[in-house]
Structure 1
Amino acid sequence: WAPLTAIACDGKPECIDMEDECQDKCGEKQPFCSKIGPTGLFTCSEQFTLPGRLICDGHKNCSKSGEDEIGCINRFVCKNESAKVYSVRKNQECDFSADCEDASDEANCPSTHFYCEGGKPFFVDRRSMFDGKRDCEDGSDECPKDSFKGSVFSSAENMIENRFLQVMVWVMGLLAVGGNAAVIVHTISLLCYHARRKLTKVAMVYSCMVLNLSVADLLMGVFLIALGITNASTSGNYCLKDHSWRSGTPCFVLGTLAVLSSEVSLVTLAILSSYRMFCVIWPIQSRTLQVHVSIGLAISTWVYAGTIAFLPFSKMFQEYFVSQTMLSTNPYFFTEIIDKPAFKTFSKILLSYSNVSYEINKNEDMFTWEKMSQRLEAFNPEYKALGYFGYYSTHATCLPKLFVDRRDVGWQFSLSVTITNFILCLYIVGAYAVIFRPRQVNKTAMTSQGTRNMQRRIAILVATDCACWLPICIIAFLNFSGVEISNTVYSITAIIILPINSALNPLFYSNAVQVLCAKML
């Protein structure tokens, strides 16, 4: 059998005598043209002939040599050349259908295929990755083995992989909540009940600021416990929830709590240091300071810290702080995590189908995260932005990146906060250097047991706080200058060094815990 018509010079003989491929106008002749025998047909070395339609058809019809398949163009040669299927058409490669017996025509398609680690099935559509469904029998399409390669905290199984850090999150969280709750209750009782009549103005100002510090440190404890609960609830299959967790509102809220707590705590320490220094330098004038001034200062710490903490969460600054978005499953992207250039290109394509002028298409205001998400949802309500990755989404712990470089989202903002914190730390150290400097007017006071005890607590507090904040700032500066910081240093800094003050401050800055223990005993 032979067709009445054929496509000439396409590399696949169809005429019985191969005249559609072996004529002069086809230019350089294919290897099979040299095998035309006296009969005008393709002649195998075994001395039997084949019609043109059996040449380059993917099967070795010349039983021994297989020469009818050698040199064929627009063909993909299967790796197992001895199999029944020798080759397939080039357009059958990476078409999600295994045409070679060994599926080698689908084995080198990384842009469209995901290869199941267990081999059952051999591959799935890459667009089905991270869609919440296990298309691979072993679930590797949802949890690829290299998806957490280089992660500071996480693995495919656990949000916080290191067992020591898992324990420390709970220990410090419980200490921070318990210790600061005790300080808050004790301080409120001093300010509101019978003990208030015995308090001087200096003591009341001090108590107000300690209360402010304790509330801030309590928030850090809440953050740590929430982190521990999330780690426990996702243990064993964290990778299935990583994207939705880091791009979701709960993670943003936890990150905001941590920043709010740490900044209020540090600024409150600076205010307390200033007040202590004021009392030492001008002891008489310090007694005239009104309590409402300390309340105003306490409120100002929350305004300052709230601005820093909530700014990355604000839609007003979304363009600066957001680097990626998480989209619902759709046929337009191979992955659910999309960066802005890719989303912008797609959004321009959508606009090209609408009656939008070229000038508007060039307007960058048309391509904000919010407007592009709205445009996608208007195109099809089933396709929408499920969340955003930004300032609080770098790691699973939801903390902003402590050590940034120029490649990180919002690095100018992060570096500015670090510089401010460093200056506050230096100020606190300088303030207590003034406080501890011997003064003739305070010579009698300095010999009292109460003053010595107070100064001892202050010395421990300043030492612990500065021992935490100063190294954090210095390491951040080193990292920004190009010094490589290991993941181990980063994880210990973020999980232990940063929040440890919240657990220890109640022990050093107030005697509430000691009073509570004394009553219990």
Structure 2
Amino acid sequence: MCPNNCTCDGYTAHCSGQSYNVFNFLSSSIRILDASHCSGLNGTLDIQMSFFFLIELNSSYSNIELISKESFSHTKNLLRLDLSYNLLTIIQSNLFKNLKYLRMLHLLGNRLISVIEPTAFNGLTLKEITLSYMTLNVILKESFGGLNLTKLDLSHSLIETVEDFAFERLIVNELDITFNPIKNFGKAMFNGLVGLQKLKTPQYKFCCIRPIYLEEKNCFPHRDEFSSCGDLMRRTSLQFFLWIISILAISGNIFSIAFRIFFDEKRLKMVYGIFVTNLAVADLLMGMYMLIIAIADRVYRGRYIEEDEYWRRSAWCTLAGVLSTVSSEASVLFICLITVDRLLVIKYPFGSVRISKNLAKMMALSCWIVCFLVAILPIVQSSYFGDQFYSKSGVCLALPLTKDRSTGWLYSISVFIGFNFITFIMIALGQTMIYYEVRHQSSVMKKKSSARRNDLKVARNLLLLVTTDFACWFPIGCMGMLSLNGHTIPGEVYAWTAVLVLPINSAINPFLYTIMAIISSKKFSPSINEQQSIPEYVKGQRKGFRKACYGIWFPDPKLEFDVVNPKSDAVLKLKPDDLLWIFLDVFKSLHLHHIHGMCYKDISAEHVLVYIPSNRKYGGVRIGQKPVGFSRNTETKQDINMVGEILKPLVKC
């Protein structure tokens, strides 16, 4: 007998989508029944007739809220049972005890199931149960007692509490409880679990209470690069360097800042001093970050795994993450600014291209604003970043050096890899240019002014400073690029990078640009005059020797002289002694400018001016062209050669 609107083929009936209780109209000899999407059950699966031969039943998507315990006493020979995507709220004790031959049970998608009573699956001999995508909330003691399974899937079921002995008397090869916000559990939650070969959990801390017979490699996820079940920093060497670097970074940078504020204030007002002092502040923040992690490791030592969740979600961990991000990005930006400033000073010693003090202050303020915005954005934009941006690891770092693609990974890559990598390419180019200029100009150092030699000395020392910072950050960028392309960075490498490579420059920078300068009793700073405006600088450089040589070739400016080109007839009518004085004064002018680091480069006959008063006697000579700084010895030779060519007609006459 085939019910209305059903399709029957032998002992198989397809009664999907019916609006009546199809169980009341079926033949007892039916073998396979599809009763999915049936709205006529009125929310209750209550089978009153005996279906001794029924081996497969599909009652999915039928709005079933309750299953009577008598239902399965009439279907004892079921092999497959599909109750997925219904409205079940509870699985009662001994509900399936009569289904001794059941091999497959589907309960997927029953999102309203919040309770599985103890021994609910008692009597079953099936091999796999899927209880994912539910709202179980709690797993009671012995909820799966008596089962012998190959796999039990409890993932994505919003489980918050797991009682002790929840899996007692359960025999299972693989247990999956991933993607559950489990907050309340005890050390005995896996006690009584037998035969486990693979365990998948939401966090590594659950692997710390795994059955003792299960190897750690078969428990997922594996521990992170830093922590163990007992300690935030599992290696003693990492703990040691954590304290050493944090103490050196904090004490060294506080000393550096204090020294510049109280004992070297004039250097603090310079562009170089502004940038280096701000770099010291950035390094100080990194030291504070390291100190927070070191204190947390000490406080939670021996019991860290119990406090792991609390620590990662604490305000201290978030603060540590913000400090590390601000410090790292500020360091990169200030290294770039220092490189640009030194390049301008070395490349254009007397040019008009220079960073003013006010501009330097605005640039420094802008850097700090940008860095704080970059660090705080993942906190305020929780809709995109969630609450795990700084809590992905126990050390609260957001560095994207692993293959994990957690929330906000694209932002991390853009900031720590993309932006930093581009900035360091610029720094590398700038440092290459500085190195070339320093190396070249060292060959003519004796002919430079003392201020110029000081500038080159500063450039060499800052080259060391920037190079060390570059050496620390560039490998991190390379590792980030490798991880982005799917390469696995070993956990030990990641741990040492975060604890030693990343913050080490914050500890050694004060020694490079402040403490070593004090020890050696040398002012490690550029000349004061470099911060003056260019016209004032050139004027100041010329003032001394102009005054000393006044009257030799600079005639009295109050007298009115005729300016005559040396090739003119008026000059050629001068006496031989006057012509000799012209030669002497012109080359004396060149000499005085050259020893002060200046030259004329392009001199023409119109630039050599001879002053002849009304009595037609020689009154003086000058070169009517503004001098500029030179960087190559050949430029001074070019000056001499050009002046010689201009004065050659006087020799011929």
Aligned equivalent of 2:3: none
Amino acid in the other structure paired with 2:238 = L
Aligned equivalent of 1:149: 222
Aligned equivalent of 1:65: none
Instruction: Give distance in 1, aligned partners of 2:495 and 2:448.
Output: 44
Q: Return closer, same or farther for 1:29/1:169 CA change in 2, 3 Å cut-off.
A: closer
Q: Return closer, same or farther for 1:121/1:433 CA change in 2, 3 Å cut-off.
A: same
Identify unmatched segments of 5+ residues in structure 2: 1-27, 29-48, 56-72, 77-96, 103-120, 132-138, 172-176, 192-204, 211-218, 523-653
TM-superposed CA distance for 1:449, in Å, is 7.2
CA contact (8 A) 1:76 1:88 kept: no
Instruction: Give distance in 1, aligned partners of 2:449 and 2:497.
Output: 37
Q: Please, which moves more after superposition, 265-274 or 403-412?
A: 403-412
Instruction: Give 1:118-129 correspondences, 5 Å limit.
Output: none
Aligned equivalent of 1:174: 247
> What SS is found at the alignment partner of 2:270?
helix
Q: Return closer, same or farther for 1:309/1:516 CA change in 2, 3 Å cut-off.
A: farther
Select the residue among 463, 479, 483 that pairs with 1:479: 483
Instruction: Give distance in 2, aligned partners of 1:96 and 1:478.
Output: 45
Q: Return closer, same or farther for 1:295/1:320 CA change in 2, 3 Å cut-off.
A: same
> What SS is found at the alignment partner of 1:104?
coil
Greater length-normalized contact order (CA 8 Å, ≥ 6 residues apart) = 1
TM-superposed CA distance for 1:462, in Å, is 2.9
Aligned equivalent of 2:611: none
Select the residue among 136, 146, 151 that pairs with 1:104: 146
Instruction: Give distance in 1, aligned partners of 2:284 and 2:299.
Output: 23
Aligned equivalent of 1:17: none
Instruction: Give distance in 2, aligned partners of 1:148 and 1:241.
Output: 18
TM-superposed CA distance for 1:273, in Å, is 0.5
> What SS is found at the alignment partner of 1:160?
coil
CA contact (8 A) 1:132 1:240 kept: no
Instruction: Give distance in 1, aligned partners of 2:329 and 2:227.
Output: 26
CA contact (8 A) 2:232 2:297 kept: yes
Aligned equivalent of 2:256: 183
Select the residue among 327, 344, 349 that pairs with 1:261: 327
User: TM-score normalized by structure 1?
Assistant: 0.61
CA contact (8 A) 2:163 2:186 kept: no
Amino acid in the other structure paired with 1:512 = I
Aligned equivalent of 1:66: none
TM-superposed CA distance for 1:440, in Å, is 5.6
Instruction: Give distance in 2, aligned partners of 1:75 and 1:89.
Output: 6
> What SS is found at the alignment partner of 1:437?
helix
User: Cα deviations across residues 30-60 of structure 1 (Å, max 9, x unaligned)?
Assistant: 9xxxxxxxxxxxxxxxxxxxxxx9xx9xxxx
Amino acid in the other structure paired with 1:171 = I
Instruction: Give distance in 1, aligned partners of 2:349 and 2:263.
Output: 23
Aligned equivalent of 1:321: 385
Q: Return closer, same or farther for 1:504/1:88 CA change in 2, 3 Å cut-off.
A: closer
> What SS is found at the alignment partner of 1:283?
coil
- Structure with bigger helix share is 1
Q: Return closer, same or farther for 1:446/1:437 CA change in 2, 3 Å cut-off.
A: farther
Q: Return closer, same or farther for 1:280/1:141 CA change in 2, 3 Å cut-off.
A: closer
Select the residue among 284, 289, 293 that pairs with 1:218: 284
CA contact (8 A) 1:116 1:141 kept: no
Instruction: Give distance in 1, aligned partners of 2:255 and 2:243.
Output: 18
Count of matched residue positions in the alignment of Structure 1 and Structure 2: 375
User: Cα deviations across residues 141-173 of structure 1 (Å, max 9, x unaligned)?
Assistant: 794344762411111111111221111111111
Instruction: Give 1:35-434 correspondences, 5 Å limit.
Output: 73-75=98-100, 89-90=123-124, 104-105=146-147, 111=154, 130-131=183-184, 143-145=208-210, 146=219, 149-190=222-263, 192=265, 196=266, 204-285=270-351, 289-314=355-380, 317-322=381-386, 388-389=387-388, 391-403=389-401, 405=403, 407-417=405-415, 418-434=417-433
Instruction: Give distance in 2, aligned partners of 1:29 and 1:216.
Output: 74
Instruction: Give distance in 2, aligned partners of 1:409 and 1:128.
Output: 16
User: TM-score normalized by structure 2?
Assistant: 0.49
TM-superposed CA distance for 1:412, in Å, is 2.2
Q: Return closer, same or farther for 1:226/1:287 CA change in 2, 3 Å cut-off.
A: same
Instruction: Give distance in 2, aligned partners of 1:461 and 1:172.
Output: 17
CA contact (8 A) 1:129 1:141 kept: no
Select the residue among 496, 503, 506 that pairs with 1:502: 506
Note if 1:468 corresponds to 2:479: no
Identify unmatched segments of 5+ residues in structure 1: 1-8, 10-23, 31-52, 57-71, 78-86, 323-387
TM-superposed CA distance for 1:120, in Å, is 9.5
| Higher Rg | 2
